[in-house]
Amino acid sequence: MSDPGEPQWDLLPDQPEQFFSLSGEYDVRDLKRSYNALIKRFKPEKYPEEFQRIRAAYERLNDALRYGETPHQGTIPLESQFDWSSLPVPGQQPRDLPEDQTPVSPAGSSQEDPNSESAPLIEFLELHERVKQEPLPELYEDLRSLPHKTPYDYYALALISDLLSEEELSFPLWLLKGLKAHPEEPALFELLHQYFLTNQTINGLGKLLVQTSRIIRNDRFYYLTENAWDLLLREVPFSRFRQVLETCESNLLDHRVDHMLVFYVHLLKAALWKADPGWIRMTLAQIDEYHERMTFWLEQEYEFLFLIRSYQEQREEFLKGGPVRKLIDQTIIDYCTQNEQTADRRFLECQLTLVSQRDEVLEEFDVPSRNCETVVYLWETIAADVSQRIDTDWLPDDPATLQEQTSQLAGRLFAEGEGAEYRKAVKIPRLAFTLIFLISMLVIMLCLINKSDSISGTLLIVGFLFLFNGVAFIISHLFTDMVTQEFYLSWWRRQLMTFYQSHWFPLPYLAAELKRLNGTRIDNQKFRGLGEIAHMVRNDAGLWFYSTAQRLLSACQ
């Protein structure tokens, strides 16, 4: 008996919707949830074949949904779209048939009407039978010489030419010839889409795209070729990429704005790192012009582009920190420019490095971490996307235990080692200010008692003492902050990192709970300074990167 939780592999590749348990109205988010649930079980490093089948089915539906194509279109089995019998070819002799069998004349043949009394009762060999009996070169020449070819003939020519010809593009070129003869033929169109989806050959790709734009001259060109543009953008200089794209778009006659928006929002994720600034500005302005036509999920993708743009504006300053920052920067670029599998792997490799180089992370990110707000938010967005695909049985801490765990953490921060030294250190400026304030009050009282002095002199002394106390208060406050920051960097920060080796609570939640505990008393111990620690936690980019890395690596384990 098969496992009831086992995917129905027999539904692929022809019924991807049923494979992902999708029915009725669904969108990109529904598809992604189902896809992520499957690839958590069938990871590429353990189940490469299963993963590739799941990925191919996902990309097929995802492309259709994003571009507004009917998801069912192109997912019908090819057997029901093609006439699987070959056309008669000159010189072929019909087979002898049993007396009780009615012969069938192939669809699309030039034979006489089978209902006519004079029609010969013949049946020609089907193509799969001819392949077994005839040399492929002769069969290829016979098919190519046909004056009128069916869609299936073009499909057969594409397959055979792929076996016989050394030309890498013979397969898609025959499909294009078929689409030229049979415009919008769904089976040929889907076969060509699958070719662009899986092809990793860069040689001749630019010419193939231009040739495709001369035959598929409507808005479906973007949907058909999107993956080929991703490959071209990665492998060739941007000037060459732009030239090919502009040539192709000049051949299009009626491309819709909606398809153009989907294509360019997808393309810009990688192009922002490679394209020239002028082209980026022009493309963004073109998208902004039709922003109101975006769907909800497309708006989210567009907001991610602006997050990247904001980071790029601060990138030069961010990279001055050291090698860890450069590693983070390269990981962000890889996430935007590489395929999903490669990007996920490099992101997780970066997490392992961040955990293993804790001291370097502490050194490169001061507290407060300046000009890091955007990169932290960008990193969180990427981590959330990657974690959806890698989480297995790992579960984060129960939020209900946050208060208890934070109380225990606070106890360690203040009761152990340098934590106790901190309480003594911060008392010094506080006691000094208190002493100065008391002496000032005493001097003021003496001045008021001494009637011999003029009133103006008394007021001058009082004003001076108030000013002196104000300055003393500011110095005391600054000294306390300096001591607190020093203890945070040398003691509390390391304790917080140790805490995140075995716990996971979102940093804002932990900071809010630490602030709430400030000034409270637990087990005869009064916590002071937790508000300052909470503020530093919120502004500690190094702790953000480290805690995120610990969380993702725990999920992988």
- In this structure, what CATH number is given to the domain that contains residue 42? 1.10.287
Q: Are residues 385 and 419 in the same domain?
A: no
Residue 128 lies in a domain: no
Report whether 238 contacts 275 (CB < 8 A): yes
pLDDT at 87 over 50: no
Looking at residues 162-186, what average pLDDT do you find? 90
Q: Where is pLDDT greater, at 132 or 59?
A: 59
pLDDT given for residue 369 in this prediction: 86
pLDDT at 277 over 90: yes
Looking at residues 178-206, what average pLDDT do you find? 92
Which domain covers residue 51, as residue numbers? 9-75
pLDDT at 234 over 90: yes
Residue 38 lies in a domain: yes
pLDDT at 81 over 70: no
Confidence of residue 106 (pLDDT cuts 50, 70, 90): very low
pLDDT given for residue 480 in this prediction: 66
Looking at residues 77-103, what average pLDDT do you find? 41
Distance CA 229, CA 265 (A): 13
pLDDT given for residue 505 in this prediction: 83
Q: Are residues 444 and 322 in the same domain?
A: no
Give the amino acid at 55.
R
Class of residue 451 by CB neighbours under 10 A (exposed 0-12, middle 13-18, buried 19+): exposed
Q: Are residues 21 and 71 in the same domain?
A: yes
pLDDT given for residue 92 in this prediction: 39
Confidence of residue 426 (pLDDT cuts 50, 70, 90): low
Confidence of residue 83 (pLDDT cuts 50, 70, 90): very low
User: pTM score, two decimals?
Assistant: 0.78
pLDDT at 292 over 90: no
Q: What percent of the chain stands above pLDDT 70?
A: 79
Q: Are residues 407 and 552 in the same domain?
A: yes
Cβ atoms within 10 Å, residue 3: 6
Residue 147 in tokens:
């004056």
Looking at residues 262-273, what average pLDDT do you find? 95
338-359: pLDDT as tens digits: 988 899 999 999 999 999 998 8
Q: Which of 7-21, 122-136, 333-347, 451-465 has the highest mean pLDDT?
A: 333-347
pLDDT at 256 over 90: no
pLDDT given for residue 75 in this prediction: 45
If one counts the domains in the chain, the total is: 3
DSSP string across 270-292: HHTTTS-HHHHHHHHHHHHHTGG
Cβ atoms within 10 Å, residue 46: 9
Cβ atoms within 10 Å, residue 28: 17
- Please name the helix (run of DSSP H) or strand (run of DSSP E) that holds residue 526, with its range, or none: strand 525-526
Report whether 231 contacts 198 (CB < 8 A): no
Q: Where is pLDDT greater, at 305 or 6?
A: 305
138-152: pLDDT as tens digits: 889 988 999 999 998
Confidence of residue 396 (pLDDT cuts 50, 70, 90): low
Boundary-marking domain end, from 45, 75, 105:
75
Residue 488 lies in a domain: yes
Distance CA 161, CA 159 (A): 6
Q: Are residues 323 and 452 in the same domain?
A: no
Residue 196 lies in a domain: no
Boundary-marking domain end, from 56, 75, 94:
75
pLDDT at 509 over 60: yes
Q: Where is pLDDT greater, at 170 or 428?
A: 170
Q: Are residues 344 and 462 in the same domain?
A: no
Q: Are residues 410 and 363 in the same domain?
A: no
Looking at residues 523-552, what average pLDDT do you find? 84
pLDDT at 45 over 90: no
Looking at residues 114-119, what average pLDDT do you find? 40
Confidence of residue 246 (pLDDT cuts 50, 70, 90): very high
Looking at residues 423-448, what average pLDDT do you find? 69
Residue 549 lies in a domain: yes
Boundary-marking domain end, from 75, 101, 128:
75
pLDDT given for residue 557 in this prediction: 62
Q: Which of 72-81, 464-473, 490-499 has the highest mean pLDDT?
A: 490-499
pLDDT at 449 over 90: no
| Average pLDDT taken over every residue of the chain | 81
Residue 25 lies in a domain: yes
Q: Are residues 421 and 535 in the same domain?
A: yes
Q: Are residues 438 and 545 in the same domain?
A: yes
Q: Are residues 519 and 413 in the same domain?
A: yes
Can you name the residues that pair with 525 across neighbouring β-strands?
A: 522
Confidence of residue 1 (pLDDT cuts 50, 70, 90): very low
Residue 224 lies in a domain: no
Q: Where is pLDDT greater, at 552 or 267?
A: 267
Q: Are residues 531 and 460 in the same domain?
A: yes
Residue 430 lies in a domain: yes
Residue among 290, 273, 218 nearest 248 (CA): 218
Among 51-65, 158-172, 420-434, whose mean pLDDT is lowest? 420-434
Among 237-246, 400-409, 523-532, whose mean pLDDT is lowest? 523-532
Looking at residues 402-420, what average pLDDT do you find? 75
Q: Are residues 309 and 406 in the same domain?
A: no
Looking at residues 371-389, what average pLDDT do you find? 90
